[in-house]
Structure 1
Amino acid sequence: MNFVLYIQGIENGFYTYSSDNQRYCVGDHVWVNFRSAKKIGIILYEDMASNHEFKINKILGKVEEQLPYSCDLIKLFLWIKKYYLCNFGDVIGVSRPKDIKISYSKRIIFNKGIIPMNKNERNFIEYITKKKSAAKTTMVNKFGKELLNKFIKIQVVLENNTIKENKYLKNRENSIKYKYSSKKSHLTKEQEEVKNKILRGNKKYYLLKGITGSGKTEVYIELVKDALERDGGAIFLVPEISLTPQMVDRFQREFEELAILHSNLTPKERATEWKSIYLGEKRVVLGVRSAIFAPVKNLKYIIIDEEHET
């Protein structure tokens, strides 16, 4: 199977690489050889061409500590590159914090039994059969990497890599998720009509027009609360100049799970907020235009304030 890749730092085109198996997906970060150097590539789409007039190098392996991009995001990145005539790397660069890493919990899971050939193999089979699953480091320490790899290859055991669970996600009842002010805003008749029209409507886009102080923000806040009640999330975008302490304070009073994204955040602060959104700890994002890439779970609304300045 062949894939078309973007090679990080190379902006003069995309490149085709091959894989002997189908364990790679669109959005994965992979290691490749590129002009005698080992580089990271991002899989953009499957190359369906049957013949090529050039040699196709193989993908070396997956970059395990990098979060993959979703297929929808990759499609969006490609559209932005084409529409704005910009470098693909520039689009990728603003979509998430630089060098964001994740930790995996690597576990070995029992899959099927075999007749052991020696004492070490018998001990291995007895241990994993009893435990059903165990940490990979434990299995390596007890039985050695060579034997473990052998049993993985013949599928006696399976290797399962999952993102380590965040403390806020261990107990849903104790999580900061879903916490917001239950106090309803006192909407005017006109505001209530607008809110209900959006909630009950079947259109994808709505334009709210009103002078400053007419109460548009109150309608937005009630829509965001509706999203949270339906296990969803929302992104509220404002121009940088509009992201004032007063606006931040207004939203923080309403939503304890609020994530704030703007240009003055340090790389560490940006990474912390991004991870909290990705893990589902925070489902409401208040930010500048680049916050459109925030990985909000079950996104219900994207609200663009001061749309005429976009």
Structure 2
Amino acid sequence: MALFANIIIDSPLKTNFFYSIPNDLKENLQLGHFVKVPFRNKKKIGCVVGFSSKVDFDESKIRQIEEIINLEIIVPEELLLLSKWISNYYFCSWGEALFASTPAVLRNRVIKLVKSVSTNNNCTDYKVTLKQQEIISFLKVQKEPIPIHQLIGENTFSSSIINTLIKKNILNLEHIKENNNEIERSSHSYLSQNIIKPQLTDEQSNAVNIISKSLIKFQFHSYLLLGITGSGKTEVYLEIIQKAIELGKQAIMLVPEIALTPQTVATFKNRFNNVAIMHSNLTDKQRFLEWRKICAGNVDVVIGARSAIFAPLNNIGVIIVDEEHETSYKQDRAPRYNARDISILRAKNNDATVILGSATPSLESYLNSLNKKNTIINLKKRVGISRLPTFHIINLKDEVTSNKKFEIFSDYLLQEIKANIKRLQQSIIFLNRKGYFPHLSCKKCGETIKCKSCDIGLTIYKSQNKASCNYCGYSIYIPKNCPTCKSENIIFKGFGTERVEQVLRLLLPNARILRMDGKTMTTSKKHEKAYNDFKKHKYDILIGTQMIAKGLDFPKVTLVGILQIDSSLAFLDFRMAEKAYQLLCQVAGRAGRSKDLGKVVIQTYNPEHYVIEHAIMNNYKTFAIKELENRKKLSYPPYCKLAKILFRSRNERILISYTNHLSSSFKKVALDMKQICLGPAPAGIEKLENDYRIQFLFKCNSNGQRKKLLELVEKSISTSKHIRYFIDIDPQSTI
């Protein structure tokens, strides 16, 4: 009989811990249970990952497990093994990997909800303190009960006061209920009773037939579905999922968080009965119910963002990654995993099919297709009678010379917008920069006015009368004097979506204009309303940032204007051209998705740039081949295995000295292994949230060589209370 449990905790420590199993838990404790354990002088939540009848050290010093958090919640063994692989590949602890792949709500002892019942006649005589009244007032305005741990954690209410109010019957304690209507309601207005499946095009039918042959064999196979915007990739996904369900299998559908709208969810719920949703906007109650529903085998399809790849399905037939090139699939904190790559691994572990879909695939995926690691399927035509848009390039060098009044809009683009309004059609103006003025500096001393915590210039938000940092949120009132020399001669430069909106309202006073960016779309409900209003033609013009570039289908949009694409071409990063090309094609793809031909107007100072030239040709293959040649010359992914180690410290002097000291040992290890070490060098953003940042890059020939090199390198990193670091495997950026 097992006497000890092997337990991992949510900590960077790459060590498992043994705890003894008390007699009263031996009968019930299982692999995958969350448990409470003493850890140093605190109580921690851990997960059981193994059992043992003996240990190799003094048993008298082993502490006991205190309790099982919830007997019903058991992490499947497949997810335990998957998280262990993640910890090995992405250089994090097993605990970090597992805890990131399971909803935090599962680790609560009991999922309890609290609501106010202060109107209860039986409670009128009880006098409440100021703190007690504060809790009651807060709960009165809530639409649904709130989990106790959320009241204590996020709202900083005292647990003792909450318990007192419960005992006095002023607050009512409820266990979580079985229904999950909140998720259903979010997409309910888009559900239809009579769904008519569209007739597949020849290209779509061919894609479905090819993938189906793999699906029925129950063997792993990877496909790259390269379909231009509007080619009907979603309908291919739906057909394949249907076939998987008919074979008794389950499906995972990953979409970027920004594209996970109620409309997208409704598309799948219209076709399939048992659908679960997993994304960041779910409440704790919703997360718990969806996870439990999936574990119980009551789900055929899971649709969600990055974390949905960890859905506890036990009979996976197909995994689909839509917009597989999206950088949002890469997590930016430990474990820094890429959900696209985990999808491939999980499909392989389950003898399932994986489909990577995109109009502009990542170069890694495209090179894999050239090397026969996946099968490429092309969708070269748009569905129905819609055609790809035409392009018109405005050379801003000429525009500035010929149009002395030029500020934001060229004469050509402005006239096209006016003509579109007369034709009762809609226009989209894309600018990947929010705010009013993105740059402010002092004319006298030349100082750029920056965030006090980051090496980032402040952005003016005129409607709020604030200058804010877009990274840490620091803000001040719009300055009238230079912080350095006190001069009143402040220069405001550039333009963001807020200023574009104001200028367009002055130029076109009768136009109905909508703006969608991070400042206006602060909730999913606002985003949903904006989408619906624009689709119903309550607005003529939509101004927006990257959030309008993907997943939106507006039949009346026949004009897309792209402003300041040059800023996307100026990033000093090896993926700069790839990201700019993807963004251009995705935004351009919003135009002409119905019977009317669309037009895309690009304003640029660099019309000859190869990214723009290839985007106009709408030939991904020619762009990819050229960019792969550039990457190969410089030995960047996908022609090397890249890793980044970034060091952070509040003390710049200590950080520089520390990384310079490490440099010689890092480079010696790399040289001995015939690999490449670059650095130390300041990170693209040298200071972020009061931390100075210096990084090393490692270019390796294989995953094995990279792992061996990093293990040797990490041994030379001494612990310091002033220095923190992280390792990023396959980083999406060197900035």
The TM-score bracket by the shorter chain reads 0.5 to 0.7
Instruction: Quote how far apart the aligned CAs of 1:22 are.
Output: 8.2
- 1:1-310 paired onto structure 2 within 5 Å: 1=2, 2-8=4-10, 11=13, 13-19=15-21, 24-35=29-40, 39-46=44-51, 51-52=56-57, 55-59=61-65, 62-65=68-71, 67-100=73-106, 184-201=197-214, 202-309=219-326, 310=329
Indicate if the aligned counterparts of 2:274 and 2:299 stay in contact, CA closer than 8 A: yes
State the SS of the aligned residue for 1:222: helix
- Letter of the aligned partner of 2:236 in structure 1? V
State the SS of the aligned residue for 1:307: coil
Taking the aligned partners of 1:10 and 1:38, their CA distance within structure 2 comes to 17
The count of aligned residue pairs is 239
- Letter of the aligned partner of 1:212 in structure 2? T
Instruction: Quote how far apart the aligned CAs of 1:194 are.
Output: 1.9
Instruction: Quote how far apart the aligned CAs of 1:267 are.
Output: 2.0
Deviates most, 75-84 or 6-15: 6-15
- Letter of the aligned partner of 1:70 in structure 2? P
Q: TM-score under structure 1 normalisation?
A: 0.64
Instruction: Quote how far apart the aligned CAs of 1:74 are.
Output: 0.8
> Cα gap change, 1:291/1:10 in structure 2, threshold over 3 Å: closer, same or farther?
same
Q: CA RMSD in A?
A: 3.5
> Cα gap change, 1:224/1:189 in structure 2, threshold over 3 Å: closer, same or farther?
same
> Cα gap change, 1:238/1:50 in structure 2, threshold over 3 Å: closer, same or farther?
same
Could you list the runs of 5+ residues in structure 2 that have no partner in the other structure?
A: 111-177, 180-192, 330-735
Indicate if the aligned counterparts of 2:31 and 2:49 stay in contact, CA closer than 8 A: yes
Indicate if the aligned counterparts of 2:10 and 2:96 stay in contact, CA closer than 8 A: no
Could you list the runs of 5+ residues in structure 1 that have no partner in the other structure?
A: 104-165, 168-179
> Cα gap change, 1:84/1:210 in structure 2, threshold over 3 Å: closer, same or farther?
same
Deviates most, 43-52 or 247-256: 43-52
Taking the aligned partners of 1:50 and 1:270, their CA distance within structure 2 comes to 37
Indicate if the aligned counterparts of 2:15 and 2:93 stay in contact, CA closer than 8 A: no
Q: TM-score under structure 2 normalisation?
A: 0.29
- Letter of the aligned partner of 1:277 in structure 2? I
> Cα gap change, 1:50/1:11 in structure 2, threshold over 3 Å: closer, same or farther?
closer
Indicate if the aligned counterparts of 2:84 and 2:98 stay in contact, CA closer than 8 A: no
- Letter of the aligned partner of 1:77 in structure 2? S
> Cα gap change, 1:33/1:256 in structure 2, threshold over 3 Å: closer, same or farther?
same
Larger relative contact order, structure 1 or 2 (CA cutoff 8 Å, min sep 6): 1
Taking the aligned partners of 1:23 and 1:249, their CA distance within structure 2 comes to 40
Q: Deviations over 1:96-150 (max 9, x none)?
A: 33233799xxxxxxxxxxxxxxxxxxxxxxxxxxxxxxxxxxxxxxxxxxxxxxx
State the SS of the aligned residue for 2:35: strand
Taking the aligned partners of 1:89 and 1:181, their CA distance within structure 2 comes to 47
State the SS of the aligned residue for 1:263: coil
State the SS of the aligned residue for 2:317: strand
Indicate if the aligned counterparts of 2:252 and 2:320 stay in contact, CA closer than 8 A: yes
Deviates most, 40-49 or 215-224: 40-49
Q: Which residue of structure 1 aligns with residue 702 of structure 2?
A: none
Indicate if the aligned counterparts of 1:227 and 1:301 stay in contact, CA closer than 8 A: yes
Indicate if the aligned counterparts of 1:232 and 1:297 stay in contact, CA closer than 8 A: no
Deviates most, 81-90 or 57-66: 57-66
Q: Deviations over 1:159-182 (max 9, x none)?
A: xxxxxxx79xxxxxxxxxxxx999
Instruction: Quote how far apart the aligned CAs of 1:38 are.
Output: 5.0
Instruction: Quote how far apart the aligned CAs of 1:213 are.
Output: 1.4
Taking the aligned partners of 1:236 and 1:73, their CA distance within structure 2 comes to 18
Indicate if the aligned counterparts of 1:31 and 1:61 stay in contact, CA closer than 8 A: yes
- Letter of the aligned partner of 1:52 in structure 2? F
Q: Deviations over 1:256-286 (max 9, x none)?
A: 3222222222222222322322223332111
